[in-house]
Amino acid sequence: MPRFCANLTMLYGEFDFLDRFQAAAEDGFRGVEYLFPYAYPAEQLAERLARHDLVQVLFNLPPGDWDAGDRGIACHPQRRAEFAEGLERAVAYARTLGCKQLNCLAGIAPEGWSRLRLETTLIDNLRLAADRLAEVGAVLLLEAVNSRDISGFFVDTLDYAAEIVAAADRPNLFLQYDLYHQQVMRGDLAGTFRRHKDRIRHIQIADHPGRHEPGSGEIHWSFLFELLDREGYLGWIGLEYRPARGTRVGLSWLEAYRA
């Protein structure tokens, strides 16, 4: 049976962020993820995790200036020092939160650079981050994000992400497989999982179209969850969707998959 964790950036928007930990625990979640922890002191977040007996499953490395439109800077040649500085901040949070996997957003391709230079920069930054995280017993993930929702995103399919991960060649570097982004770009959700299952460490889900809860769109979730069980996937599945009718009403789909 899949292990689901609540994405507190997307879910429970009716609560203040720090109150979402309690809401998730009340609804039976044992793990949480979110985009970024950096707006809050790490000790404050750790206290919420401990109070509600929750595991910090995942968060992202600093993305640059999110409010200004950055969606990651790992492929930006002119921002390598900024990436390295953000990495140290992420490591400090990971230690305090007990988080064992961090995700890297490659970012939107900056203008004026060759694809080869962007790719080389990304690979170098992934090596830097993976080596640093290995020192604290954590793994690094690379996520493909569809380039329809975020125009120009540099790594927009899991196949390409897998090529980058292979080139970076670090034992603690893996893939984050977001089924929504893959469905937007290419579909073939089951086949893509089978091709890359040995490198997939974390999965996120949302239905398509709309990026709402499972059952609201075209994806055959019962088939996919059974496939993951058959193929021996043991990682978490993050619920990174926008509830169409409010979080708790929209969680009714989950009852069929809870033990």
Q: Fold for domain 3-257?
A: TIM Barrel (3.20.20)
Show which residues are catalytic: 143, 240
Instruction: Give tens-digit pLDDT for 40-52.
Output: 999 999 999 999 9
pLDDT at 257: 86
Residue 12 pLDDT greater than 90, yes or no: yes
Res. 259 pLDDT band, cuts 50 70 90: low
pLDDT at 217: 96
pTM of the model: 0.97
- Spatial neighbors of 225 by CB under 8 A, at least 6 apart, are 2, 257
What are the structural domain ranges in the chain?
3-257
